Amino acid sequence: MTVVLLGLAVVALVSTMLAVIVTANSHRRRVQASNELISIAERIERFDYVPCATTSTYASAMDGVGSDNFTPTVQSVEWLVDRTAATATFRTTGCTGGNDQGTQRITLRISSPKQNQVTETLVVLKRDDRCTGLTVSPGTKC
């Protein structure tokens, strides 16, 4: 009877340790993926605003990011249709330089192709800070 109880205790202890290790590894991979996405978002933020941009416009933000562990992509670039509406409306098609309202919603995604797949998504808003038609002091934004 004592041997059976001792055996059950060992099995429970090993199972608990295994669960902790698997959970810690999963959390570490999610944090790494989130850090990579934030790095890409910061790179995109430093890009000049490109009216009617597409996913390929921001593809160079992926240079040097990703590895065997993660594959980053720009899933979509949507442009603001109407900035006076109560709820912002974005579209992915039909943009011309004249109807670009100066804000883009960029959806970034990063995933790992390995066995314990991790997928993270981040949505970034990029705005046009060029101040067209306004007189602004150098170094200030609209």
- Domain residue limits, the chain: 2-127
Mean pLDDT of 124-128: 90
Q: For 59-111, what is each residue's pLDDT tens digit?
A: 887 777 666 678 888 999 998 887 676 778 888 888 877 777 888 999 999 88
Q: Which residue bears the tokens 């995109």?
A: 44
pLDDT of residue 124: 93
CA nearest to 81, candidates 62, 68, 94: 94
Nearest CA-CA partner of 121 in 111, 113, 130, 112: 111
> What average pLDDT does the structure give for the chain?
81
Q: How confident is the model at residue 125 (pLDDT cuts 50, 70, 90)?
A: very high
> Mean pLDDT across the stretch 113-125?
84
**Which of 110 and 140 is assigned the larger pLDDT?**
110
Check residue 105 and give its pLDDT. Answer: 93
Quick check: 135 pLDDT over 70? no
d(CA 90, CA 81): 5
Instruction: Tell me what pLDDT residue 107 has.
Output: 95
User: Taking residues 112-120, what's their average pLDDT?
Assistant: 79
pTM of the predicted model, to two decimals? 0.74
Q: How confident is the model at residue 130 (pLDDT cuts 50, 70, 90)?
A: low
User: How far apart (Å, rounded) are the C-alpha atoms in residues 103 and 49?
Assistant: 9
